[in-house]
Structure 1
Amino acid sequence: MTAPTTPRRHDLQGLRALASLLVATSHIWFGNVSGGVDVFFAIGGFLLASSLIGEIERSGRVGIIAALWRQAKRLFPMAGIVLVVAGSIALIASGPLLLNRVAHDISAAATYRMNERLASTATDYLGAGLAKSEFQHFWAMSVQGQWTALCIVLIGLLAVALGDGAARRARSIAGALLGVAAVASFAYANQQIAIDPVPAYYDTLARSWELALGGFAALVLTRIPLAPLARAIMAVVGIALVLTAGMLPQHFAQPGAVTLWPVTGALLVLLAGHGADSVPVGRLLSWRPLVWLGGISYGLYLWHWPVLKGLVALDPSQGDGVGLLPGALVLALSIALAWGSTRLIALASRPRPRESRSVPRLVPLLPAVATAAAVAIAIAPGIQERAIAAQAAAAPQPESPAQLQEWVAQSVSKPTAPMRGAVSGEAGQSSEWLVDECSTVDELELDACRYPAPPATHGREAWLVGDSQAVALAPGVRAALAGHADVQLLGREMCPFSSAPVVARELGDEAAACEAHIALVLELAAERRPDLVVITYGAWWVGDGYRHLGVDVGRRLAEGTLDLMRQLDALGVRSVWLDSAPPFAEMQECLDAVATDDDLTTCIAPLGDEELRRHERMVETIAAGGGDLVDTLGWYCDVERLACPLIAGGVYTWADPHHISAPGAVQRVALLEDALLPRVRATQEGATGLPESTVPGSASGG
């Protein structure tokens, strides 16, 4: 039995063109989810199922290796070109400080794992605007690539299992299986969204229903006869759904029920134009410019994001909103690059003299990129760690705690620009965070996140516990204790070192993991008896967005920390609490002002009454309960004037709105020495009294 030949559908190319334009324009101008990717998924599932079942109906089988090779020839060259060009520029532009991150991004994109990488790093697709990876958009290619490979293998095995009846029965059985898969995946997606919508956004299992539904429509719904009027109405409704998907409320979690809007629209258009004379919408989608654009839509999707990132790198002011003309230039350049890349691939695939068939000479490009990225990942940690250390060491060092406080006060009075080469954002974070990945440390990672302090410290060690603030402060703590104690990082992201109920209420599903981590710290403390446990965490849960927690957050957090300090004391382990830097919420405004040489008053953040009250309550509660602490607010802010400068002594104190930078941590070594060394020495000498600097407001406490 031979399957009938399906005529080439120009309307499908037009639909692809619309999907690519929706994605590109939403990224450039609107910063929203447009539904364009969902349209691509529906089209991809529709065409893949049609192709595989058509092959079975023609030959009784699916050549699995041949089918995978066809997909590689179609996808690898364009992706490889984009990764080679954009990856090279990203590596050069980011420099050694971000070499490790960029190399991992390129590797994940080249090996169809970008969705898994973004899910594992909890990257909110819309949450950070344009401050994201140059290759974040490869997540969709990864999802579709994983589904495509799985579908080819499973349908190929289905054909083998059906044997002689494959050509007759494969369509109905595969259609039923795809229908079941779509329902199961949709249920799973909604379950995962309820648990944590950020990783669910990238989850292949949660996205599979879009592709499976496309396949189900191709194999089952296309068999339903439709009158011309019904087709025309379906197409109109479908294109309306596709074009309006980006107007839906952006707080609706994807890929849940809201994602049915663009997927249904795409399928209505596909079904309306299947096997029939073109309906009016189909003729519109078959317009020659749209068909041409549809032919390069894959390239447009891959090129537009790195081009947009390049615009923002050249003109940081565009990060707050791309103008009409710059955005149009981004779109035009992306289209030009997509066309040029498509032409290059076509030329490279032409038969050479004496060749009987096309040789896809650019197909090995993507594996070559993956191999190069793997080499970069292997050498990146050492390069990056040295670069971060050099950046931190270049920060001007105050001669005394008083001088740093003077710098802070001067920066409040007259905001100054950063010194040349000062970095912010991810590049400003510590190597303990970026390279060693010690923001969350479990029992298996203790050795990797333990930092010996030569010369020999005879087994003496200080621990740094708390949330991600602990790893941000690590460069300063390590420098302060060099030669006196090894430093063991033992923190966990989003886990304040406090047993207070307010922590469990705010952390939600993460509360149980946080409690387990605190229990691990106490268990290890009983076993290893460190000389000092340094406690620091963020949890500035006051003000807008946190009113539901009440006005006494500071006292309750402190009581929970005091409870854990007492448990450590019962084990014979000394501990000290250092508050973290308050958040610098509007940091991007300052960075934009620095980049454009504008007024730097945005580089001063007010210390709000609620923030000050939270800090004072914590200091008062821990001190009144007999806990050891150092009042650190003056390390970061001019407390008298209730102002916190982003830039002090020429360096960015904060790397991002919530964490201090590695140079900022090293800049506070003198204060950390005054705060920590007396406590470590007192423990080593067997002293029981608390150092004088415990008193809030003392010289070392600021």
Structure 2
Amino acid sequence: MPTALGPAPWARTPAQERPADRPSRFSGFRPEVQGLRFVAVLLVVVYHVFLDRVSGGVDIFLLISAFFLTLSFVRKLEAGRPLALGRYWLHVFKRLLPLAVLTILGTLVLVALFYPEFDVARWRSQALASVFYVENWALAVAQVDYYAVDDSGSSPFQHFWSLSVQGQVFLLWPVIFAAAAVVCRRFRWRPVPVLAVAFGAVFVGSLVFSVVRTAGDQAFTYFDTRARLWEFALGSLLALAVPYLNPARGLRVVLGWAGLVSMVLVGVLVDVQGAFPGWIALWPLCSAAAVIVAGSSGSRFGVDRILASGPLVRLGDAAYALYLVHWPLLITYLVLRDRPVAGPRSGVVLIVVSLVLAVVATRWVENPLKRWAWPERSARRLAVVVVVCLGLVAVPVLGWAQADARRAAQIAAEAERNNPGAAALAPGFEYRGDPDAPTIPVIDADYWGAPGTGEPCPADLGVEPRYQERCRETVPQEDPSATVLLLGNSHVHHWATAVEQLARENGWRVVTYLQPGCLYSTVEEQDYPEDCATWLEGTGPVIDAVDPDLVLGQGTRTSTTGEELTPGAEARLRELDARGVTFVGLRDTPRFEFSPPRCAQENGADDPACTTTGHPAVNTPNPLGPLADELAHVATVDMGDLICPEGTCRPVVGNVHTYWDDDHLSIDYVRTLTPMLAQRLAAALAEDGVRLPGLP
């Protein structure tokens, strides 16, 4: 307020301002913003627990982080002090990591004790991604749906996506300030205008990117750091502008309340699912900006009277801890109760417990470590603390993974004796393995994979560049005895293990041209027309280029309730037959409404809930059969009786998981099917007068 010495520094016009006063514009604790931080995180918690919707609270949290970060660096720039980026980075992560590490280790204990073994390896790897601040990219690559209705299957580390984005920005933003400092020294410019231009460019570029990418691939973009930079840039622009703004008291009161009410209501009034982080995120961010601009109104009617109150400011101090602990508690509860969402009473309990844990962790862990003077005496000591924090997670996680890998290798070494798989279906088979031998594949991080595809097709094949991406030489041979082309989708690909084994034994060359989710038919019959169009267009040119002795593809298409040979697929096969190309259609594998291996892991392989009988693709006429009988170069192979013996689809056959999810065969079971596949391929081809070298 005005004094006998003249107006306060933040109220002076640029003409009145002394250079020495400039840093003071960007200094000072903002209690109402600290209270706002708590409200933002509380919104996240409440919406996660009760509404399972996006509140915009995370976006506000990111904006506030950039706001305070920018104030800190601008003070240094205006005062001409060194930025000391290395020490800054070490100090920031020394401050952030202890509570994060404590949460990660606690969550790992919960995972080991209470979570299905089927998921442990995935969550363990995400713990590592979280502590190294790359969890957002791990989730994006894994194509996680942030808006999934059932949170019980979500990662207990999923909330670390925003902290990872924040950590990445804490590395990037100081570089921008350092670059601005160089420009200011070189041209004798003021820091604020230079930074305004820099962050304005980031804001516009990132916002445009966010809007475009959200419309095209929202699931990936939600976790994409590039699509979030504009939110931080807005916080930085706000920090640059607010010290020069001085709205009247009445306007401050209106701005404060309007911003708070708008911020609370955004998730209720607008179903933002699928829209974040595009332009719609401007709503909660502009709402928070209004509260920040309102600042300290000096009025008893101002919203700052609430936000700057002692209890709310202290809870604001615990906001980081609250965000950390609430999500693993929620997900663990849902896993234990096997529920998709929390109920009203349990939700209230979860929020109260989260608040208590957050306050305790802040008081007894975060605050003492903030006051710990030893690390601050040198950059080396800060580095030691950061490295120790990272090691506290990395060492046990990597050790745990290594122990599981050794166990899996030991089990695999005994698989021929203990895990016969489909060989156990042979008449007179007698099991001679260990009675308590584990079922394979062992469920670990490697379990969530598909057979390899090999190297890109070599140039000598002459495949056109636009089709080259999906063309792979899976088994190369300099002088092949035969060439086999695998053509289709993942339901063809999961047979690659057996085909590769036969190829290496008999000197075949194997080429794959695969596109997940696409059927060898017409674009109109695809579930994903845009993804399949180019692949489908390339099937003819690739067949011409490869000139295979045999095309092995998907013969039919199953669902959980039926099976069909589509008109488009029939037309394609008639075209191949007219060209004299030999095609063997593998009858599609049964699909289920649940994951047989997960069911077996959680309930036991003998649980009736894990077994399916009467599937329409088992022990029923093969829809491809009549066409195969009619066409000279088209044959079909049905392996259904070996996948579902005697019409019963069991999750385990011969101590091997038959499937690795709800519709794909496991690599290990396909390997045990290799001799049977060879016999049936030979028989099917013999009917058409074709023989592949090495087949019986």
Give the structure-1-normalised TM-score. 0.74
Q: CA deviation at 1:136?
A: 2.4
> How has the CA–CA distance of structure 1 residues 9 and 430 changed in structure 2, closer, same or farther, with 3 Å as cutoff?
closer
Residue 689 of structure 2 aligns with an amino acid whose one-letter code is T
Query: Which range moves more in the overlay, 68-77 or 36-45?
Result: 68-77
Bigger Cα Rg: 2
Matches within 5 A, 1:401-480: 427=443, 431=447, 434=449, 438=452, 442-443=456-457, 464-474=486-496
Counterpart AA for 2:566: G
Alignment map for 1:4-23 (pairs within 5 Å): 4=24, 6-23=27-44
Is the counterpart of residue 105 in structure 1 residue 126 in structure 2? Answer: yes
Counterpart among 315, 333, 336 of residue 311 in structure 1: 333
Are 1:556 and 2:568 an aligned pair? yes
Q: 1:504 to 1:470 in 2, by over 3 A?
A: closer
How far apart are the structure 2 equivalents of 1:59 and 1:282? 33
Matched residue pairs, number? Answer: 647
In 2, Cα distance between equivalents of 1:148 and 1:355: 19
Matches within 5 A, 1:299-448: 299-313=321-335, 315=336, 317-318=338-339, 320-342=340-362, 343-348=364-369, 350-351=371-372, 362-368=385-391, 372=395, 383=406, 386=409, 397=421, 427=443, 431=447, 434=449, 438=452, 442-443=456-457
How many angstroms apart in 2 are the aligned matches of 1:324 and 1:114? 30
| Residue in structure 2 matching 1:40, options 61, 64, 70 | 61
Deviation at 1:475, TM superposition (A): 5.4
Aligned-residue identity in percent: 23
CA 1:469/1:422 → structure 2, altered by over 3 Å: closer, same or farther? same
Confirm whether residue 134 of structure 1 aligns to residue 142 of structure 2.
no
Of the three residues 669, 672, 680, the one matched with 2:677 is: 672
Query: Which residue is equivalent to 1:688?
Result: 689
Query: Which of 217, 227, 230 is equivalent to 1:209?
Result: 230
> Residue 243 of structure 1 corresponds to which residue in structure 2?
264
In the TM superposition, residue 603 of structure 1 has moved relative to its aligned partner by 6.2
Give how far 1:150 is off: 1.6
Q: Give the one of 22, 38, 63 matched to 2:84.
A: 63
Amino acid at match of 1:630: V
Match of 1:151 in 2: 173
CA drift at 1:153: 0.5
Contact 1:100 1:381 survives alignment (8 Å)? no
3-state secondary structure, aligned to 1:148: helix
1:578 equivalent to 2:586? Answer yes
Instruction: Describe how 1:526-565 pairs up with structure 2 within 5 A.
Output: 526=547, 533-536=551-554, 554-560=566-572, 563=575
Deviation, 1:156, is: 1.4
Change (3 A) 1:605 1:316: farther
Aligned counterpart, 1:193: 214
Residue-by-residue CA offset, 1:343-365 (whole Å, 9 max, x unaligned): 22443454478997996564323
CA contact (8 A) 1:440 1:493 kept: no
Quick one: structure 1 residues 356 and 240, their matched pair in 2 at CA, closer, same or farther if it must change by over 3 Å?
same
Alpha-carbon offset, residue 158 of structure 1: 0.7
Partners of 1:584 and 1:657 within 8 A in 2:
yes
Structure 2 contact 38–319 (Cα < 8 Å) conserved: yes
Cα-to-partner distance string for 1:277-327 (whole Å, 9 max, x where unaligned): 6863222223444333321222222233333333344x2522x22334444
Task: Tell me how far 1:38 sits from its aligned partner.
Answer: 1.0
Q: 1:205 to 1:543 in 2, by over 3 A?
A: farther
Aligned-pair CA distance for 1:212: 0.9
Q: 8 Å contact 2:451–2:493 — kept in the other structure?
A: no
SS of the residue corresponding to residue 231 of structure 2 reads: helix
- Equivalent position SS for 2:553: strand
Aligned to 1:508: 530
CA deviations on 1:96-138 (whole Å, 9 max, x unpaired) are 9777645543343233222222222322222363323332222
Any unmatched runs of 5+ in structure 1?
A: 404-418, 545-550, 692-702
CA distance in 1 between counterparts of 2:515 and 2:404 reads: 21
Q: 2:253, 2:299 within 8 Å by CA — same for their partners in 1?
A: no
Give the aligned partner of residue 120 of structure 1.
141
Q: What's the CA shift string for 1:532-568, capped at 9, x where partnerless?
A: 5532499668999xxxxxx99822134346656877x
Equivalents in 1 of 2:403, 2:122: separation in Å? 9
Contact 1:252 1:258 (8 Å CA) reproduced: no
Q: Give the superposition deviation at 1:219.
A: 1.2
Q: Specify whether residues 321 and 106 from structure 1 end up closer, same or farther in structure 2 by C-alpha distance, changes over 3 A only.
A: closer
- After superposition, the Cα gap between the structure-2 partners of 1:317 and 1:357, relative to the gap in structure 1 and judged at 3 Å, is same
Residues 291 and 317 from structure 1, CA distance in 2 versus in 1: closer, same or farther, beyond 3 angstroms?
A: same
Q: Aligned partners of 1:623 and 1:238: how far apart in 2?
A: 72
Residue 630 of structure 1 is matched in structure 2 by: 637
- What's the offset of the Cα at 1:152? 0.9
RMSD over equivalenced CA pairs, Å: 5.1
Measured after TM superposition, the shift of residue 622 of structure 1 is 5.7
Task: Verify the 8 A CA contact 1:317 1:592 in the aligned structure 2.
Answer: no
